[in-house]
Amino acid sequence: MTRDDTLDTEKVLGRVLGLGTRASTASLGLGLALALLRPGRLADVLLHAGLVILLATPVLRVVISIAAFARRREWPFVLYTAFVLALLVFGILLPFVT
């Protein structure tokens, strides 16, 4: 693993988190404004999309981290990060199962 690989991964992760945050904020803000001004199906869709994006952003970050660790052949970190991913997915899906 070189310093450049680590910096590249950190840049990608930063972009993903920034984009996810901005997209979620925009969708939630627009959905809220529509819900207040003109309630309807579009407002509901935007609000739900904003929440899905908000939940998906850290999951995507973990998936990218797994790929980066695998590319560098850092297998213990792949396992640890995969375990974190499993916990995230379990936590997201648990309310739908019970």
Residue-wise pLDDT tens digits, 37-57: 999 999 999 999 999 999 899
Give the pLDDT score at 2: 66
Give the pLDDT score at 28: 97
Give the pLDDT score at 64: 94
Give the pLDDT score at 61: 93
Burial of 58 (0-12, 13-18, 19+ CB in 10 A): middle
Give the pLDDT score at 97: 85
The CA distance from 44 to 32, in Å, is 9
Helix (H, G, I), strand (E, B) or coil at 74: coil
Low-confidence spans in the chain with pLDDT less than 50: none
